[in-house]
Structure 1
Amino acid sequence: MTRFNVKKVAVLGAGVMGAQIAAHLINVKVPVILFDLAAKEGPKNAIALKAIANLKKLKPSPIGVASDADLIQPANYEEHLELLGECDLVIEAIAERMDWKQDLYHKIAPHVPAHTLLASNTSGLSITRLSEALPEQLRHRFCGIHFFNPPRYMPLVELIATPATEPRVLDQLEAFVTSGLGKGVVRAKDTPNFIANRIGIAGILSTMKEAEKYGLSFDVVDDLTGKKLGRASSGTFRTADVVGLDTMAHVIKTMQDNLGPETDPFYDSFGTPPVLAKLIELGHLGQKTKAGFYKKAGRDILRFELESEDYVPAGAKADEVYGRMLKKPAAERLKLLRNAQGAEGQFLWAILRNGFHYAALHLADIAETARDVDQAMRWGFGMKQGPFELWQEAGWLEVAKMVQEDIDAGRALTRAPLPEWVFKGPVADAGGVHTAQGSWSPSAGKFIARRAMPVYERQYFPEKLLGEDQLPDWRSGGTTISDGEGLRLWTLDAGDCEKSEQVLIASIKSKMHAIGPAVIEELGEAIELAEREYAAMVIWSGDAPFSVGADLQAAMPAFIAAGVDAIDGLSQELQNTMLRIRYAQVPVVAAVHGMALGGGCELAIYCARRVAHMESYMGLVEIGVGLVPGAGGLTWIARRAAENAQASTGKDLLPFLTEGFTAAATAKVGTSALECRQIGYLLDSDIVVPHKEELLYVAVNEARAMATGGWRAPLRRSFPVAGRSGSATIRGQLTNMRAGGFISDHDQHIATLIAEIVCGGDVDAGTLVNEEYLMALERKAFCALIQHPKTQERILGMLSTGKPVRN
């Protein structure tokens, strides 16, 4: 299959979804044109321009660096349709109206080039009916592409073919969306609301119905249906607020208009809930209008009450007994809930039962396999497990019998029985729908393996579902070289490749990949091994985070037992390890995903190169626990400032220190890999990878390419510092901040120490120093602070609550 090279994309429609899809395309460096109607007054591009400007204000941000929104090219249908000729992909994302979309297709069709793919972003309209408005020569290149909101963060994209869509079009688009945009692709059948919204909205309606039946408030339901149930932390009603109540109502209406009792036995449960109808009538559409099922009043969270049509205090929690039940193994958990006497337990069993029932009844209609349903619910609705996974884990036939008993007794939402394949045949024999052979397809009557496409060869360890034992696990995959307390050292199976051409992989094993004494010691040993026997080394620890930094819990007993000398020794050992990595005689590449904080950030920046997933959050955050970075982070800031100054025409070092000092003194964390690059934690030479499952593939290949290209470690050299005059300038600014009440006395004290270190201490401006000199200053400040009562208060607060203490 030839590569589908997307050089430019057009997005039609500058509404919420269209603008955010355009923003994500910019995130991954794809040039994009954002179209909308021509404005009746002022500049013709005013609608698109306004949408672009609004992208900079949204939270969470749809774009990695806010100013990059200006890279989106605005356009309008009246003047710029010829620009479609430059595009390889056109994504239509206007309002969910069949007639409006089809009218637009008539308008654009003459301008879409012969090679270009056309896709409609719709949450549930029939793709086949939409295609009827297209000329014959376009129909084979048309399909549905359903992004979930917000497009930057939600992994799921559903692709939907029409009978005329060429298979290569789906393959090309799936490869681009997966590798280019970093998404998880599920192919859905062309049925109302496709897979995720069909299952998800039915589940939300079921939850609302059962909550009303059992008399539970929104906040209690959200407490029960969030993390405790293995779902998105926002629960049910907060999720609806985020999605938008008007959007949710539209998806419900699609089900109401396109289904009936003959096509969906649950149809009688699809009525718009009275509370949802009332909120929409009042204009309370959720987060975008700052009021929905919930609203914020100052620091208080209020919930809507239908009886009074007003907001009342929220924050009620479920009975703790159900939280304990939900921690039990799946089989025990479901039995306990089914037999519960309290309303909350009966409610939980009811919504789980309804979910199993609905998914089983409609699997054959909406999806090729059960895998598509479970992946769609994981990626689109933030579930830890899809409905079939939980069912299978709890005991397939046992759960099926419980569900069928409730159906027969009239306790379910419909009396339609579970399909015959649930109880008889391959699924019953296998104990579930997911097996090593594949996932169950009722329409094919067999288990079907995952699609074998070149793009998935880049995912060495894909996210797997329960029962997919044939897929490798990164914790045990490849060839283990050593498995210590702190690190697992291993290589990917390299076939005939000589060991000297292989890349050694170091995976941190500690909780949250914190850096403790064992990790420090074994990292040093790993470098020695890599230099002796391998071509390069990659630090990659599988699941996020990359590393939350130094293991304070491990360090405190040493401090209590042996005093500050123990801390000084640990800090020096960690600093030496960082220098060992920087000056290693093989390239060391950090594969960063999720948080890289404190010592984790320092570990990444001391590597020869970083390959970072788009959603990487890096920062030197030690001031939050009352400390200064003590593993070379401030030394790195000073050295980079000197290098940047040398490459410019400026003589004064201070301007080049400002960004790094401010980031460390304010514990600033980059909120994307792109922002981390802007701050300086990632360099222009580092690589940003859209798909987290491709991170290891890219990192290993980058490390190998560096080695093959004759990479050499940098030479050790001295560099100039800003000196006492530089730190005096910064201290003056800190005094003003303290006087204005922006920072506390302890914050000012720590920031002053940071300033003195990055400026080189009590020396003249321009004095040449080396890394060991600055690291000694770091250790001195670190050891002084760890004995400070206010710092100890911050550390203990963080260890006990996980939240920073401001003192």
Structure 2
Amino acid sequence: MPQLRIRKVAVLGAGVMGAQIAAHLVNADVDTILFDLPAKEGAPNGIVDKAIANLGKLSPAPLATKAKAAALTAANYDQHLDLLRDCDLIIEAIAERMDWKKDLYDKIEAHIAPHAIIASNTSGLSINSLVDALPASLHERFCGVHFFNPPRYMHLAELIPCRKTAKDVLEGLETFLVTTLGKGVVYAKDTPNFIGNRIGVFSILSTMHHTAAFNLGFDEADALTGPLIGRPKSATFRTADVVGLDTMSHVIKTMHDTLPDDPWHQYFKAPEWQQALVSKGALGQKSGAGIFRKVGKDIVVLDLSTQDYRPSDREAAPEVVEILKLKNPVEKFEKLRASQHPQAQFLWAVFRDLFHYSAFHLASIAETARDVDFAIRWGYGWKLGPFETWQAADWKKVAGWIAEDIAAGKTMANAPLPDWVFDGRDGVHTAEGSYSPARDTVLPRSQLAVYQRQRFPDPLLGETFDPGQTVFETDAVRMWHDGDGIAVLSFKTKMNTVSQGVIDGVQRAVDEAEKNFAGLVIWQSGEQFSAGADLTGAMGLLQSGDIAGFDAMIADFQKTSQRIKYSLVPVVAAVRGLALGGGCEFQMHSARTVAALESYIGLVEAGVGLLPAGGGLKEIAERVGRAIGSGDLYTGLKPYFEAVAMGKTSTSALEAKELKLLRESDVVVFNAFELLHVAKATARGLAESGYRPPLPARQIPVAGDVGIATFQMMLVNMLEGRFISEHDFEVSKRIATVLSGGEIDRGSLVDEDWLLRLEREHFVALAQMPKTQARILHTLKTGKPLRN
């Protein structure tokens, strides 16, 4: 089958979603044209130009680096439709109006290339109705693709075929979405709101209904339906504020208008209080007020009993929290249902009606239960989907309870559960696959080639994947392989922090790799690469007065970084999530880093009153010296110094390249589940090309005393302007001293050992200072930095 190659994309519609979809396309280096109507005044592309300019102001940022905005091409429908002829993919993302979309299709159809795919980014309009506006010759190349907001960050993309969409078109587009844009793809049937919003919005409506029924406050309901049950901090009502109460009302109205026969139809309406807020312009986060609003530093919440805002301070009851903390889900649900506490009854009702709705509609909205669970997890950020939650809690027992409540008239609708729920099954997910009601069988995961790149895909409940063959394992690390010549090292510490056990494990792993493997990948199974050094262990040595032991620990840390750098086989760091402090330094010393787009990388030690001492400052000084030679070293060092002294963390892997914490040769991967595959391929490629480690740097030109003095002048101005504290000044001065190579002549040549000794000397000196120790203890206790 010929591969789908997408070189250029057009996005039609520069509204909130269209502009952000375009932004994510250029994040991935896809040549993208953003279209909208011509402006009535000023430059014809004014609407698009304004949308592109606005991308840099949004939070969270749609662009992985602001420089990407320049890659977008602005266009309008009156002047530039001919540009569509060069596009391989056209994504229509205008407002959710069937008539507007069809009018636009009439306008563009003559300009679409014979091979181009046309996709509508709609959150719920009928794909089969939309395709009727296009000539029959285009029907095989048309489908729906529903990105979730914000498109850069939300993993879910729903693919919705029309009756005639060609299989190769769908598979090619799926591959593009998965690898190029980093998405998790779920196929949805052409039903209103598809899967994610059909189930997700019902869950919100159900929670709203039960919040009123059990007389709970909005803040109280959010305290119960957030992290305590494995959902985001925004829970339910804050999520509605973030989405926008007007947007929520529109989606609810779509369900009301298009699902007249749904047994739950009477609940498909925005509550009166929501309608009142929308009519007042209180739309949620985007308008500054909604269900919640901020007053100074305080958060207040709407109280329906007083029709006014009150402090947001109602929490989950301790006895309910104790139930929710139970690790056994079977016991947890038994106690929730049995409890007489209104909050527990509320939670049982919320779960019960979600399970009931999901099971009743599964056959009509999705091919398998897997699609529903992934849609909710990836689109709404839940740790478990509805079917996984039900199955974990004892499928048969919970099914019986739901049936009892239906018979007793306690459920939101009296529709019976489908017969397949009671056919003796223990759930819908098995080792062989997930249940499909339409086919009455279990279907395995997709075998599309793109998924062979995911060594450990996102697991469903009960799914396990071959862990590979263990080389060695300790309390801190595990080294393993797949028999392909590339070893993998994973940390086991909390947040993958660098403890003494990790340091020992890395050194041993490099030894093993040099003896028995072609390369080594440092990769973590969790979401963080490493949150940095283990400060708890360091504080223990300091508080016991063992300065010599503390110094030796830092020397061992540096030795480990150098061992990574000078390994005779390539060591590749596979980074995702946090790579802070020591974690950042390990990847800086690797032969290559392969980083997921959402990697937040930084040398942040200044925040706890320290400086990087795992070789990070040494590495910066060496890189600048190698690049500039005898030139203006201060200017080369300045951006690094500012990033380190301010504890700056990149907001993406692409920004980490701008901060020079990643190299231009490092690889950025958009799908985190492909990270290990690409990292292993990178290590193998380096090995196959005859990899040799770099020669030791013995003649590094440094900025010396002139560099230190220049940095210090800048710091004095900041101190006098009260932008930094006296201790910040002390920490930053020492960072400048190490980066500049110490109090020696400008242009002096030093080696790595000289710089490592400087790092260690100043690190140990700072660590003994009371204000640094206060910062460390405060961070360990609260997780927040201390300014002192």
Q: TM-score range by the shorter chain?
A: over 0.9
Instruction: Write the deviation string for residues 323-356 of structure 1: whole angstroms up to 9, x where unpaired.
Output: 2211112111111111222221111111011110
Which residue of structure 2 aligns with residue 36 of structure 1?
A: 36
Which residue of structure 2 aligns with residue 341 of structure 1?
A: 340
> Post-superposition shift, 1:363?
0.3
Which residue of structure 1 aligns with residue 315 of structure 2?
A: 317
Which residue of structure 2 aligns with residue 746 of structure 1?
A: 727
**Residue 533 of structure 1, aligned match among 516, 524, 534:** 516
Counterpart contact for 1:374–1:388, Cα < 8 Å = yes
> Post-superposition shift, 1:554?
2.1
Which residue of structure 2 aligns with residue 297 of structure 1?
A: 295
Does residue 1:449 correspond to 2:444, yes or no? Answer: yes
Counterpart contact for 2:225–2:235, Cα < 8 Å = yes
Which residue of structure 2 aligns with residue 601 of structure 1?
A: 584
Distance 1:399 1:432 in 2: 11
Which amino acid is 1:399 matched to? Answer: V
Counterpart contact for 2:594–2:669, Cα < 8 Å = yes
Matches within 5 A, 1:296-695: 296-306=294-304, 309-328=307-326, 329-424=328-423, 428-429=424-425, 431-469=426-464, 472=465, 477-494=467-484, 502-561=485-544, 563-646=546-629, 651-695=631-675
Counterpart contact for 1:408–1:415, Cα < 8 Å = yes
Distance 2:225 2:483 in 1: 42
Which residue of structure 2 aligns with residue 86 of structure 1?
A: 86
Counterpart contact for 1:637–1:661, Cα < 8 Å = no
Say which SS state the counterpart of residue 140 (structure 1) adopts.
helix
Moved more, 460-469 or 84-93: 460-469
Which amino acid is 1:374 matched to? Answer: D
Which residue of structure 1 aligns with residue 756 of structure 2?
A: 775
Moved more, 40-49 or 773-782: 773-782
Distance 2:79 2:764 in 1: 66
Corresponding residue pairs, total: 786
Does residue 1:265 correspond to 2:246, yes or no? Answer: no
Which residue of structure 2 aligns with residue 156 of structure 1?
A: 156
Moved more, 693-702 or 341-350: 341-350
Which amino acid is 1:461 matched to? Answer: F
Distance 2:18 2:654 in 1: 21
> Post-superposition shift, 1:308?
5.3
Distance 1:276 1:2 in 2: 51
> Post-superposition shift, 1:559?
3.0
Say which SS state the counterpart of residue 467 (structure 1) adopts.
coil
**Residue 736 of structure 1, aligned match among 717, 727, 733:** 717
Which residue of structure 2 aligns with residue 794 of structure 1?
A: 775
Residues 365/322 of structure 1: CA separation in 2 closer, same or farther (3 Å cut): same
Counterpart contact for 2:705–2:742, Cα < 8 Å = yes
Say which SS state the counterpart of residue 635 (structure 2) adopts.
helix
Distance 2:651 2:680 in 1: 25
> Post-superposition shift, 1:738?
1.3
Distance 2:491 2:507 in 1: 13
Distance 1:338 1:276 in 2: 30
Counterpart contact for 1:720–1:767, Cα < 8 Å = yes
Distance 2:351 2:519 in 1: 49
Does residue 1:715 correspond to 2:710, yes or no? Answer: no
Which amino acid is 1:208 matched to? Answer: M
Which residue of structure 1 aligns with residue 107 of structure 2?
A: 107
Counterpart contact for 1:516–1:555, Cα < 8 Å = no
> Post-superposition shift, 1:312?
2.9
Say which SS state the counterpart of residue 32 (structure 1) adopts.
strand
> Post-superposition shift, 1:691?
0.2
Which amino acid is 1:613 matched to? Answer: A
Say which SS state the counterpart of residue 578 (structure 2) adopts.
strand
Say which SS state the counterpart of residue 282 (structure 2) adopts.
coil
Moved more, 691-700 or 305-314: 305-314
Does residue 1:48 correspond to 2:48, yes or no? Answer: yes
> Post-superposition shift, 1:315?
3.3
Distance 2:74 2:286 in 1: 23
Which amino acid is 1:445 matched to? Answer: D
Which residue of structure 2 aligns with residue 165 of structure 1?
A: 165
Distance 1:309 1:676 in 2: 48
Which residue of structure 2 aligns with residue 702 of structure 1?
A: 682
TM-score, normalization by structure 1: 0.96
Counterpart contact for 1:303–1:311, Cα < 8 Å = yes
Instruction: Write the deviation string for residues 227-283 of structure 1: whole angstroms up to 9, x where unpaired.
Output: 1110111110111111122221111111101111x3x11111112111211111111
> Post-superposition shift, 1:167?
1.2
Q: What percent identity do the matched residue pairs reach?
A: 51
Structure 1 stretches lacking a partner, 5+ long: 495-501
> Post-superposition shift, 1:375?
0.4
Which residue of structure 1 aligns with residue 10 of structure 2?
A: 10
Counterpart contact for 1:56–1:67, Cα < 8 Å = no
Distance 1:617 1:94 in 2: 33
> Post-superposition shift, 1:485?
2.5
Instruction: Write the deviation string for residues 384-430 of structure 1: whole angstroms up to 9, x where unpaired.
Output: 00010011011010011111111111111011111111011xxx33x
Does residue 1:278 correspond to 2:268, yes or no? Answer: no
Say which SS state the counterpart of residue 234 (structure 2) adopts.
coil
Distance 1:666 1:376 in 2: 39
Counterpart contact for 1:144–1:160, Cα < 8 Å = yes
Moved more, 545-554 or 140-149: 545-554
Distance 1:514 1:266 in 2: 48
Distance 2:402 2:121 in 1: 36
Distance 2:27 2:188 in 1: 26
Distance 2:224 2:549 in 1: 45
Counterpart contact for 2:227–2:235, Cα < 8 Å = yes
Distance 1:370 1:488 in 2: 34
Moved more, 124-133 or 783-792: 783-792
Which amino acid is 1:563 matched to? Answer: D
Which amino acid is 1:660 matched to? Answer: Y
Which amino acid is 1:189 matched to? Answer: K
Say which SS state the counterpart of residue 600 (structure 2) adopts.
strand
Instruction: Write the deviation string for residues 665-702 of structure 1: whole angstroms up to 9, x where unpaired.
Output: 00000010010010001111010000000000000001
Distance 1:304 1:26 in 2: 40
Taking only aligned residues, the RMSD between alpha carbons, in angstroms, comes to 1.2
Moved more, 25-34 or 64-73: 64-73
Moved more, 338-347 or 305-314: 305-314
Which amino acid is 2:309 matched to? Answer: Y
Counterpart contact for 2:612–2:763, Cα < 8 Å = yes
Say which SS state the counterpart of residue 216 (structure 1) adopts.
coil
Distance 2:519 2:414 in 1: 62
**Residue 737 of structure 2, aligned match among 738, 752, 756:** 756
Which amino acid is 1:246 matched to? Answer: D
TM-score, normalization by structure 2: 0.98
> Post-superposition shift, 1:743?
1.1
Counterpart contact for 2:542–2:768, Cα < 8 Å = no
